[in-house]
């Protein structure tokens, strides 16, 4: 059994992300698949060339993380997040099948649909909690 070198366990997630680099002039879509407060595993479409440091924006969390590339495998990349006062950790790649460009496109489209549906449900729930009934005017 491989020893875990992370200080915190990464949770399985399925979040849309956007990597920004070159002072914000370049960006790439990605999927965030595993995440902890210290880092994440990202799945990219195609063979993207990334700098050692970049910004990772996760719309669902409404947060941008400053990330450092720690490893690269066929199935994705591992990053650690800059946390003030903490030395960066080195992470191991979890085993998972690689995502093709068409699979990635389908997953990103489905993720966008689910985020839209989630926002609509949150709106309806907020309306119900405030005593208003959606659709009744």
Residue 111, H or E segment: helix 101-129
Q: What is the pLDDT of residue 108?
A: 73
For the cut 80, the answer to whether the pLDDT of residue 34 exceeds it is yes
Q: What percent of the chain has pLDDT over 90?
A: 37
92 touches 39 (CB < 8 A): no
How many whole angstroms separate alpha carbon 67 and alpha carbon 80? 6
Is the pTM higher than 0.85? The answer reads no
With b for 16 or more beta-carbon neighbours within 10 A and e for fewer, the 27-63 pattern comes to ebebbbbbbbebbbbbbbbeeeebeeebebbbebeee
SS3 77: strand
Higher-confidence residue of 122 and 136: namely 122
Question: In CATH, what is the architecture of 11-129?
Answer: Beta Barrel (2.40)
Provide the pLDDT for residue 96. 46
pLDDT, tens digit (0-9, with 9 covering 90-100), for 72-118: 988 889 999 997 544 444 434 344 445 566 667 767 777 777 777 77
Among 34, 32, 27, 24, which Cα is nearest to 50's?
27
């Amino acid at each position: 059994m491989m020893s875990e070198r992370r200080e915190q366990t990464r949770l399985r997630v399925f979040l849309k992300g956007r990597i920004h680099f070159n002072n914000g002039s370049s960006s790439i879509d990605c999927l965030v698949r595993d995440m902890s407060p210290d880092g994440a595993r990202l799945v990219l479409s195609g063979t993207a060339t990334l700098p050692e440091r970049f910004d990772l924006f996760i719309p669902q969390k409404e947060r941008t993380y400053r990330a450092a590339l720690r490893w690269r495998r066929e199935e994705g990349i591992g990053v650690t997040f800059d946390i003030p006062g903490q030395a960066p950790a080195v992470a191991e790649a979890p085993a998972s099948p690689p995502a093709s460009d068409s699979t990635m496109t389908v997953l990103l489209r489905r993720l966008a649909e689910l985020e839209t549906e989630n926002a609509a449900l949150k709106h309806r729930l907020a309306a119900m909690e405030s005593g208003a009934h959606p659709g009744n005017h």
